[in-house]
Amino acid sequence: MSHHEQHRAHRVGWLRAAVLGANDGIVSTASLIIGVAAASSVHDNIILAGVAGLVAGAMSMAAGEYVSVSSQSDTENADLELERISLEENYETEKEELAEIYEGRGLEPELALQVADQLMAHDALAAHARDEIGISHVVTAQPVQAALSSAGTFLVGAALPLVVAWAVPGPQLIPAVAASSLVFLAFLGGLAARAGGAPIALGSIRVLFWGAFAMALTAGVGRIFGVVA
């Protein structure tokens, strides 16, 4: 009977960007709405600020993720090019270096050299990228994927408190946006933890704490510096 383990490392790239985007969308938009609402009673101004924050935030997330992950990708490509040149010029030395890595992991010297020889005969660059540099095709940087995931999930996350703010005008707006946003954050934290194989309760508590802190801080700023009608 075959045994197949379900690993989650292949989800790291898009999951990180998606969780970051959705979390930032909820927290930043809810905080912005609450801050403006604490300083102004004009409902149209509150919604306009929320929409502006949604659009600006999504574009910022996409650009930031793309630039950040592109820099990571450039670094990986530069390291791979250096390794490729080294393999062309010092093949035997690189084989010994790879064998030493396997020895450090517990293989006997003779077996380590055999493993290094066979892996390099199959794909020398891939073997060194994985075991010497730590670059794997499973977790390699994907700038476009990260940018789209981050921007898309930011839009979804930001739309949630914005819809609540639009549907609940008046004095109940701030508590409604705050409470619903905390529910959204708890659900997001649990969902992300489940997708990543982590404890669901821990994931929910983690995002709840920082989300509540951000909204409370922004509301305080709005109260202090705003003019309540």
Q: Are residues 221 and 163 in the same domain?
A: yes
Specify the pLDDT at position 140.
Answer: 60
Specify the pLDDT at position 201.
Answer: 80
pLDDT confidence bin for 50, thresholds 50/70/90: very high
Q: Are residues 129 and 167 in the same domain?
A: no
What is the span of the domain harbouring residue 64? 11-75+142-225
- Mean pLDDT across 71-99: 87
Task: Report the chain's mean pLDDT, rounded to a whole number.
Answer: 81
Query: How many Å apart are CA 11 and CA 140, to the nearest integer?
Result: 11
Q: Are residues 70 and 147 in the same domain?
A: yes
Higher pLDDT, 98 or 3: 98
Q: Is the pLDDT at 103 greater than 80, yes or no?
A: yes
Query: How many Å apart are CA 34 and CA 22, to the nearest integer?
Result: 18
- Asked, for residue 4, whether it belongs to a domain, the answer is no
Q: Are residues 171 and 219 in the same domain?
A: yes
- Mean pLDDT across 58-64: 88
Q: Are residues 28 and 113 in the same domain?
A: no
pLDDT confidence bin for 3, thresholds 50/70/90: very low
Per-residue model confidence as pLDDT tens digits over 119-147: 888 888 888 888 888 776 555 667 887 78
Per-residue model confidence as pLDDT tens digits over 165-203: 999 988 899 899 989 998 888 888 777 777 666 677 877
Per-residue model confidence as pLDDT tens digits over 207-229: 788 878 878 887 777 777 654 44
- Asked, for residue 44, whether it belongs to a domain, the answer is yes
- Asked, for residue 1, whether it belongs to a domain, the answer is no
pLDDT confidence bin for 51, thresholds 50/70/90: very high
pLDDT confidence bin for 14, thresholds 50/70/90: low
Which amino acid, 49? A
- Asked, for residue 2, whether it belongs to a domain, the answer is no
Tell me which residue of 24, 88, 36, 112 sits closest to 61, measured CA to CA. Answer: 24
Place of tokens 């989800």: 11
Query: How many Å apart are CA 142 and CA 37, to the nearest integer?
Result: 39
Element (H, E) at 185: helix 173-196
- Asked, for residue 6, whether it belongs to a domain, the answer is no
- Asked, for residue 3, whether it belongs to a domain, the answer is no
Specify the pLDDT at position 137.
Answer: 59
- The answer to whether 146 touches 67, Cβ cutoff 8 Å, is no
Query: How many Å apart are CA 192 and CA 153, to the nearest integer?
Result: 12
- Asked, for residue 5, whether it belongs to a domain, the answer is no
- Number of domains the chain contains: 2
Q: Are residues 203 and 153 in the same domain?
A: yes
Specify the pLDDT at position 10.
Answer: 44
Q: Are residues 38 and 66 in the same domain?
A: yes
pTM of the predicted model as reported, rounded to 2 decimal places? 0.67
- Mean pLDDT across 99-107: 89
Query: How many Å apart are CA 154 and CA 53, to the nearest integer?
Result: 11
- Asked, for residue 175, whether it belongs to a domain, the answer is yes
Tell me which residue of 6, 24, 37 sits closest to 222, measured CA to CA. Answer: 37
Higher pLDDT, 21 or 5: 21
Query: How many Å apart are CA 79 and CA 209, to the nearest integer?
Result: 39
Q: Are residues 94 and 63 in the same domain?
A: no
Query: How many Å apart are CA 78 and CA 81, to the nearest integer?
Result: 5
Tokens of 165: 């703010």
25 contact partners, CB below 8 Å, separation of at least 6:
54, 57, 58, 61, 153, 154, 155, 156, 157, 158, 159, 160
Tokens of 113: 């050299």
